[in-house]
Amino acid sequence: MANSSNVTPNDLNAFWMPFTANRQFKKAPRMFVGASDMHYTTSDGRQVLDGTSGLWCVNAGHCRPKITEAIQKQAAELDYAPAFQMGHPKAFDLANKLVALTPDGLDHVLYTNSGSESVETALKVALAYHRVKGDGSRFRLIGRERGYHGVNFGGISVGGIVPNRKMFGTLLTGVDHLPHTHDLSKNAFTKGEPEHGANLADELERIVGLHDASTIAAVIVEPVAGSTGVLIPPKGYLQRLRNICDKHGILLIFDEVITGFGRLGTPFAADYFGVIPDIMITAKGLTNGVVPMGAVFVKSEIHDAFMTGPEEMIEFFHGYTYSGNPIAAAAALGTLETYKDEGLLTRGAELGPYWEQALHSLKDAPYVIDVRNIGLVGAIELEPIKGAPTKRAFAAFVKAFEQGLLIRTTGDIIALSPPLIVEKSQIDEIVDGIRKILQQID
Ligand code: PXG
Ligand code: PLP
């Protein structure tokens, strides 16, 4: 493992790291200094196989030439253009290419700089949409337990992760939550979508009964919850949510920050499940994680509802200094080209069966209480150490890093989401590596 003596001389104190045990990390840092395709290079010169696409974002693999070149060229040509009341061609070109790729009807895009900002943007569009239609009593937002929608105030309000919420006061008011769908007692070791739990969507009817539909603006869910450990929706669940939303005039928002751009073997999870939301949130894979950028897609009827009133008036009071930033737009265009050239947005469907079989071979490895998979995502849930939750999985994470494999852990769940360029031999390497590591830890 890298230790402070072989890391580039550097004072680690000033940087307050995100979602990190800062003091523990700084005693024994893990540093990456390079990357190419499926591998990182550590500060002590080792190769680490990327089993997680960085943080679920490097879908095309690392340092891909078309993306690098697009950024270099753009930086030298037009570095920044004001985002308000001005434009530059690549932001429009990208928007057209994106809406050609998104499910039918999601024909307009608002740019952001991250998944968290995409979430805030989507929630604000939903609230404002009802209001411009003269339906301003619809102010409630419905999220879900174990949902992750980034770290800003709207996102943590509709999100369902206790430590991300509990320190921060009253949050947004008028929020309620659906139950999560994770049920190992019925669905452990399921391949693909679990059989049991579609009825949990009916909880939305209960919430509607409690608050009345006329007060509810939108429901926001991740089609597959990523961050809390790859929670795959039960068969029929998302369709039921869609039907209940339609019945009551409630907007359905899919947060596809992780599932977007090929992760499930289709361009978006909406395509995989055949359920089209009214608003779709993306980020991460949009630029291959290389330049921060997010995008929120909305149905034409939502967009069009704002395009009324005097033409000289701003239609929606929202936007960021960097919305559609030229370098981010260039990176996204280079990314889309790479996805297209290499068929990456559907490669997960080809590799899915191999991935599934390889992962489920871990069923008998030590501590494993569940294996689940969909597209090119998987999770291995471990039995927690009594009285010390997360400790076992974290030990696996550190050992994996030492042995040349990057995995991600959340609670006692190992989450896997390799770049979509992964080869079968590398899938074997990931699975064999994890088996070995589970045999080495307590
Ligand atoms: N929504 C979803 C569904 C996400 O997964 C965000 C919003 C926020 O995106 P930004 O770009 O603001 O981070 C995310 C991000 C992990 C992990 O491994 C997951 C995310 C980010 C970092 C780590 O648990 N998801
Ligand atoms: N804070 C101040 C003082 C600002 O002037 C601005 C933008 O002009 C912001 C925050 C918002 O920054 P951004 O547009 O990058 O989200």
Give 367-416 pLDDT, tens digit per residue: 999 999 999 999 999 999 999 999 999 999 999 999 999 999 999 999 99
Distance separating alpha carbons of residues 209 and 177, to the nearest angstrom? 14
Give 227-270 pLDDT, tens digit per residue: 999 999 999 999 999 999 999 999 999 999 999 999 999 999 99
Q: Are 110 and 298 spatial neighbours (Cβ–Cβ below 8 Å)?
A: yes
pLDDT confidence tier of residue 10, bands split at 50, 70 and 90: confident
DSSP string, 374-392: ETTEEEEEEPPBTTBTTHH
Mean pLDDT of 341-368: 98
pTM: 0.96
Distance separating alpha carbons of residues 128 and 299, to the nearest angstrom? 14
Give nearest CA residue, ligand 1 atom 20.
227
> 119: CA distance to ligand 2 center in Å?
18
% of the chain surpassing 90 pLDDT: 98
259 CA closest ligand 1 atom index: 3
Choosing from 113, 120, 227, 287 the residue with most ligand 1 atoms within 8 A of its CB, the one to mutate for a pocket test is 227
DSSP symbol at 418: -
Distance separating alpha carbons of residues 199 and 181, to the nearest angstrom? 10
Give 281-308 pLDDT, tens digit per residue: 999 999 999 999 999 999 999 999 999 9
pLDDT confidence tier of residue 9, bands split at 50, 70 and 90: low
Size of the chain, expressed as the number of residues it contains:
442
Mean of per-residue pLDDT scores for the chain: 97
pLDDT confidence tier of residue 5, bands split at 50, 70 and 90: very low
Distance separating alpha carbons of residues 41 and 159, to the nearest angstrom? 34
Choosing from 84, 113, 120, 321 the residue with most ligand 2 atoms within 8 A of its CB, the one to mutate for a pocket test is 321
Distance separating alpha carbons of residues 72 and 69, to the nearest angstrom? 5
Of the bound ligands, which one is closest to the alpha carbon of residue 320? 2
Distance of alpha carbon 303 from the chain centroid: 24
pLDDT confidence tier of residue 2, bands split at 50, 70 and 90: very low
Give 101-156 pLDDT, tens digit per residue: 999 999 999 999 999 999 999 999 999 999 999 999 999 999 999 999 999 999 99
**1 has pLDDT over 90:** no
Beta bridge partner(s), residue 299: 106
